[in-house]
Amino acid sequence: METVRLTVAQALVRFLAAQRSERDGIEHRLVAGCFGIFGHGNVAGIGQALLETELEDPAALPYWPGRNEQAMVHAAAGFARARNRLSTLAVTSSIGPGATNMVTGAALATINRLPVLLLPGDIFATRAPAPVLQQLEDQTWQGASVNETFRPVSRYFDRIERPEQLPSALLSAMRVLTDPAETGAVTLALPQDVQAEAHDWPAQLLAPRVWPVARPVPEPAALARAAALIRESRRPLIISGGGTIYAEATSALRGFAEVTGIPVTETQAGKGSLRYDHPLALGAIGATGTVAANTLASQADLVIGIGTRYSDFTTASRTLFVDPGIRFVSLNVAGFDAYKLPGVALVADARAGLYALTGALRGWRTEAAYRERVRRLALEWDETVERAYHLGHEPLPAQSEVIGAVNEVAAPGDVVVCAAGSMPGDLHKLWRSRDPKGYHVEYGYSCMGYEIAGGIGAAMADPGREVFVMVGDGSYLMMPGELVTAVQEHIKIIVVLVQNHGFASIGALSEGLGSQRFGTAYRYRDPGSGRLDGGQLPVDLAANAQSLGATVLRARTVKELRAALEEAKTHRDGPVVVHIETDPLAPAPDSQAWWDVPVAEVSALDSTTRARAAYDENKPRQRPYL
């Protein structure tokens, strides 16, 4: 058997460079490159191997330095999402804080079902120099490592303590990365001494390998039961989730909706499944949904979930579907998600499942009156969006006007990226999606700081699209450093930086829960009261962005914002930050749906007592759907 003598790290890098995914006869690089920050846990192992590879062939496994380990994982997740999970990036860090910084990113990837490959350094497998710098010591276990924290947030975790363990771990890692039902964060912890250890590897391990991404079809009996339920329904409703888009099933969804006349609503991950102006498009559903979608959801007798996790926001904390006879058909490639709600589970690829359902329902269609009601409700909501886009709010613009300006300046194929704060909810309701990949809002983890890094990943994955990163001041302050990465790599993103002097989303939630926006505004501590209710902090985030190398444009009005966005589009090199201040108290249109956040049951505050009364009024609407 032919062998090649390499270190563990060198073999790892060569293996990753040779992996491909394949779906529908089209091959993709499975691991398109590697982000990394080096320290004593990986510099002499993976760092050396990446250097050697770059000197031999810079395109084999490109390396990009990041500024924050969590942000590097976010960039990889953004990249994987933009590539419909067919390609991803690896991320390497040192041991200790470098590794644990990645745990948040791992949780985000796993919750959102996005493939990322994490390669944290680890302590010595031999334990010879223990305890080493940054090592966690446990009196009951000499092998304790902080990397154990990756286990609950990874879909696959392994610690390579001997070179012989690497091949099976790599094959298992690739299997999970390419399995739509299992994918998420994959973590291979690499002790620093093992990384540098040489071994004779089978040449076959390093040869090109293609991993097929399957499209499983529905089980025939389940398909028949699902079709029977749909034929019996009179007010069916589709909820399209991220699985529809990742499976490239949006055309199949449109065809299914048009043949059957069933209206389509969208989760955060599924937004863009159907153009906003399609006659059967009702837009966002749930706690951040449209009135049109939620009105019909409350009257639906059948819900067809496609590629959705049925999160609490999607179901309005299980208060949205109130018909006594409500039934569910759940089409999902993951059985875990398909069986969450009772009814018929179709464990299948979204596109294959939709084609099968379309064939099984040939000749059946919803009533014309129902379709007309769908069209009327959708038009009424679009008029609401138009008003929100052009409020003329003074003296500072409303956030809905900022969203409207970006939406109207962006081309149909451009991408909007967001993750946390009040912005995702407003975008879900108000953004007019015109392309399946045009809406990129991370709301599975809703992680503050994702925006810029995720936007970089999206731009790297598809440089032909303009990427608009919308971020509030709270999220921006969490992780602005990746602007430097965008500057260094000439990655073009347009960051719309909305300054509202605090945590607007949690401020509004706090007020609604009777907590009076406590701790949510960026203000000085008043020396008289001892509370944080003094003047606003003089923070200049535009100056901060400029200091990191970004081109900065300032806008005070919506008109100036539009002009700045148009100017930003003409820039071709690196990030452009457009700064605008908004009024955090200007409300967006209400979804008329509920979200379960418990309120203190007893309180000396009248505001909390009133909020608890409202909570007690809504809580009985919650259903177990059994």
pLDDT in tens, 312-354: 999 999 999 999 999 999 999 999 999 999 999 999 999 999 9
pLDDT at 532 > cutoff 90: no
Q: pLDDT (tens digit, 9 = 90+) per residue, 46-78?
A: 999 999 999 999 999 999 999 999 999 999 999
In total, the chain counts a number of residues equal to: 626
Tally of CB atoms within 10 A around 182: 17
Measure Cα distances from 563 to 272, 390, 414, 465, 495 in Å: 26, 16, 17, 20, 15
| pLDDT of amino acid 338 | 97
| pLDDT of amino acid 520 | 78
Q: How confident is the model at residue 551 (pLDDT cuts 50, 70, 90)?
A: very high
| pLDDT of amino acid 508 | 77
| pLDDT of amino acid 135 | 87
Strands 116-122, 198-202: pairing is unpaired
Q: pLDDT (tens digit, 9 = 90+) per residue, 72-102?
A: 999 999 999 999 999 999 999 999 999 999 9
Q: Report d(CA 11, CA 22) in Å as an integer.
A: 23
User: Which pair of structure tokens corresponds to residue 90?
Assistant: 């690896």
Measure Cα distances from 375 to 108, 264, 276 in Å: 36, 11, 12
Q: pLDDT (tens digit, 9 = 90+) per residue, 360-399?
A: 999 999 999 999 999 999 999 999 999 999 999 999 999 9
pTM higher than the cut 0.85 = yes
**Class in CATH terms, 220-380:** alpha beta
Closest CA to 245 of 113, 346, 350, 332: 350
| pLDDT of amino acid 165 | 98
Residues of the chain with pLDDT > 70: what percent?
100
Closest CA to 147 of 183, 95, 199: 95
More confident residue, 181 or 591: 181
Q: Report d(CA 562, CA 550) in Å as an integer.
A: 19
| pLDDT of amino acid 502 | 75
Residue that the structure tokens 């589709």 belong to: 238
| pLDDT of amino acid 459 | 98
Domain range 390-501+537-581, its CATH number among 3.40.50.970, 3.30.365.10, 3.40.50.300, 3.40.50.10470: 3.40.50.970
Q: How confident is the model at residue 514 (pLDDT cuts 50, 70, 90)?
A: confident
| pLDDT of amino acid 511 | 79
| pLDDT of amino acid 526 | 87
Instruction: Region of 38 please: left (phi>0), alpha (psi -120 to 50) or beta.
Output: beta
Q: pLDDT (tens digit, 9 = 90+) per residue, 393-413?
A: 999 999 999 999 999 999 999
**Class in CATH terms, 3-212:** alpha beta
**Where in the chain is CATH 3.40.50.1220?**
220-380
Closest CA to 297 of 365, 235, 253, 344: 235
User: Which pair of structure tokens corresponds to residue 338?
Assistant: 């398909």
Residues of the chain with pLDDT > 90: what percent?
87
Q: pLDDT (tens digit, 9 = 90+) per residue, 119-167?
A: 999 999 999 999 998 888 888 999 889 999 999 999 999 999 999 999 9
Closest CA to 245 of 285, 273, 226, 264: 273
Kindly report the average pLDDT of the chain as a whole number.
95
Residue that the structure tokens 């009601």 belong to: 373
Q: pLDDT (tens digit, 9 = 90+) per residue, 198-233?
A: 999 999 999 999 999 999 999 999 999 999 999 999
Contact 304, 239 (CB under 8 A): yes
Q: Report d(CA 476, CA 413) in Å as an integer.
A: 25
User: Average pLDDT, stretch 290-306?
Assistant: 97
| Residues β-bridged to residue 440 | 417
State whether the Cα torsion 398-507-71-76 is positive or negative: negative
Q: Tell me how many helices (H) and strands (E) the chain has.
A: 23, 23
Contact 263, 233 (CB under 8 A): no
Three-state secondary structure call for residue 496: strand
User: Average pLDDT, stretch 22-45?
Assistant: 97
